[in-house]
Amino acid sequence: MPYLPIQDHGLIGNLHTAALVGLDGTIDWLCLPHFDAPSVFAALLDDEHGGRFQIRPVHNHTAARQLYWPDTNVLVTRFMSEAGVAEVIDYMPAGLAPDAPGFGQLIRRVEVVRGQMPMEMTCTPAFDYARAPHTTELTRHGAVFRSDALVLGLAASVPLDRTRHGVRARFTLRQGECARFALQPLRAAEGPRLDADQERTLFDHTVRFWQSWLSRCTYHGRWREHVHRSALALKLLTFEPTGAIVAAPTCSLPEHIGGARNWDYRYTWIRDAAFTVYALLRIGLTDEAAAFIDFLQARCRDRHDDGSLQIVYGIHGDRDLAETTLD
């Protein structure tokens, strides 16, 4: 498959990690459970081996566009054809306690709003930057992907079939019908499951969370829509547990194709984080600045002998960031 341009992606997240969603309905970048964890989907970097989670129309003669649910980081990918219009609504429930139902999930809801549309879902995780093997097991409510370091559950409201590296589903939806998928790390005794009422509750909670956060913005000028969207994007780069701010949710994207400057930006680069804090402060969003100051104060207690700080830290405050080359 050809690589999508970076600009043909939307971003979703839960303030612990983030995912890139392509205009073709593909999640081609996701690290779980945190920004700096190894990837489970990385087709953004390696289309053949990186892994992906795609939901798309079966037929190729469709037009597509992306938009966000108003004042949120809930992403809608809309597919349009003469036969019908389908929407894939992607989000990661935000504002939940770590032990709350739905925490850590990535939810994809497929709806047909006009006509009918045959759809296809494929989920082929590739653990640890596509270096770790995994097994796939079909369950009553979905599938379980097991690697040595991480177990993922995929809850599905439609039947799944096993493939070589994951699962696939084909289904046709008519106007007013929907299908739901939810991916999440599993604890030992858990199994994947998501019912319609639970998903709707998580959706409503997530919409309220983002809209409530954005309501504190004090900018009301002519560029309000653009400023709000930029603020929401910057908020997605914050790591709630520590107050760290990542420079980007991705790694290994070169400054130019074939170049050597392929840095990992899933860390807190002090300069870049300062720019983010300044931008949010200018529009009245102060909580992120306070959290980042707490993060910096903790780093000051572990500064170098000459009193200096590092230019980059891990999102948990790690100082020793060993570089790894992925073949």
- Each domain of the chain, given as residue ranges in start order, spans 6-214, 224-313
Percent of the chain with pLDDT over 90: 83
Determine the average pLDDT of the residues in 192-213.
95
Q: Which residue blocks in the chain are alpha helix, DSSP H?
A: 127-130, 196-214, 224-235, 270-282, 287-300
State the pLDDT at residue 323.
77
Whole-number pLDDT of residue 107: 98
CA-CA distance, 202 to 145, in Å (whole number)?
Answer: 23
Judge contact between 113 and 86, C-beta under 8 A: yes
Band (321; pLDDT cuts 50, 70, 90): confident
Q: How confident is the model at residue 163 (pLDDT cuts 50, 70, 90)?
A: very high
Cis bond before residue 33 (omega within 30° of 0): yes
Q: Give yes or no for a contact between 34 and 246, defined as CB atoms under 8 angstroms apart.
A: no
Burial of 66 (0-12, 13-18, 19+ CB in 10 A): middle
136/191 Cα distance (integer angstroms): 13
For the beta carbon of residue 275, count every other beta carbon within 10 angstroms: 13
Per-residue pLDDT tens digits for 257-311: 777 777 788 999 999 999 999 999 999 999 999 999 999 999 988 877 787 889 9
- Mean pLDDT value of segment 155-184: 97
According to the model, what pLDDT value does residue 3 have? Answer: 87
> What's the whole-number mean pLDDT along residues 5-13?
96
Q: Give the class (CATH, top level) of 6-214.
A: mainly beta
- What does the pLDDT read at residue 188? 67
Average pLDDT over residues 182-198: 86
Cβ 85 vs Cβ 115: under 8 Å = yes
Q: Taking residues 306-322, report their average pLDDT.
A: 88
- ∠ CA 39-45-49, rounded to 5°: 75
- Rounded mean pLDDT, 242-251: 95
Tell me the average pLDDT of the chain: 94
Return the minimum-mean-pLDDT range out of 141-145, 193-197, 218-222, 274-278: 193-197
Strand segments, DSSP code E, in 142-211 are 142-146, 151-156, 161-162, 167-174, 178-185
Q: pLDDT at residue 189 above 70?
A: no
Looking at residue 33, the DSSP 8-state letter turns out to be S
Stretch 220-226: mean pLDDT, rounded?
96
60-69, 75-84, 92-101, 247-256: segment of lowest average pLDDT = 247-256
pLDDT mean over 59-86: 95
The residues pairing with 117 across neighbouring beta strands, listed in sequence order, are: 173
| Average pLDDT of span 192-198 | 89
Q: What value does the CA radius of gyration of the chain take, rounded to a whole number of Å?
A: 20
Q: What is the mean pLDDT of residues 52-78?
A: 96
Chain centroid, CA 93 distance in Å: 10
CA dist 88 and 78 (Å) reads 6
CA 325 to CA 308: how far, in whole Å? 28
In 3-state terms, what secondary structure has residue 325?
Answer: coil
Report the alpha-carbon distance of residue 90 to residue 214 in Å, rounded.
19
Q: Could you report the per-residue pLDDT of 118-135, keeping only the tens digit for each?
A: 999 999 999 999 999 999
Q: Is the pLDDT of residue 172 over 90?
A: yes
